[in-house]
Amino acid sequence: MQSQHFSLPIRVYYQDTDAGGVVYHSTHLNFMERARYEWLRSLGFDVHELINTHKLQFMVRSIEIEYFRPAILDDLLHINVNVIDMGRSRISIAQEIQRDQTRLVNATVHVVCVSTESLRPIRIPPHLREKIETPT
């Protein structure tokens, strides 16, 4: 599968940091979630439409994460999204957080497409699969 690439710039604000101005480790997960949301939007899918019309949503199944360097107050970060694999109901996504060209965090996020009614895995719909598989 050819990789689907997306990057979201995010500025680090005071609320994202501890008293020393360093970004909390869990805040990186929020940044990555926001980037995945905006990635879906860039493909033409509104999350509310997926939930209300298509009766599906993506839920995180697992995350593998490594922290290399800290992000600090007022940094401009780029949160990258790259699809690395897609199964019947799951998508594996490589995410990286960078400041300039410096890698701060790497993660592999496995999400599963689930029914909003049962919260059980369902097949990724063909129209969504097609958009995800088309390289940008």
Total number of domains in the chain: 1
**Residue 136 reports pLDDT greater than 80:** no
Span 34-56, average pLDDT: 93
Q: What is the pLDDT of residue 5?
A: 85
For residue 121, count other CB atoms closer than 10 A to its CB: 16
Q: How confident is the model at residue 134 (pLDDT cuts 50, 70, 90)?
A: confident
Task: Provide the whole-model pTM.
Answer: 0.92
**Residue 4 reports pLDDT greater than 80:** no
Tell me how far apart the alpha carbons of residues 113 and 56 are, in angstroms, rounded to a whole number: 7
Q: What's 40's domain CATH number?
A: 3.10.129.10
Q: What residue numbers bound the domain in which 51 lies?
A: 4-133
**Could you report the per-residue pLDDT of 74-107, keeping only the tens digit for each?**
999 999 999 999 999 999 999 999 999 999 999 9
Q: What is the pLDDT of residue 80?
A: 98
Q: Are 84 and 94 in contact (CB under 8 A)?
A: yes
Return the minimum-mean-pLDDT range out of 43-47, 58-62, 92-96, 121-125.
43-47
Give the residue numbers annotated as catalytic, written as ranges.
18
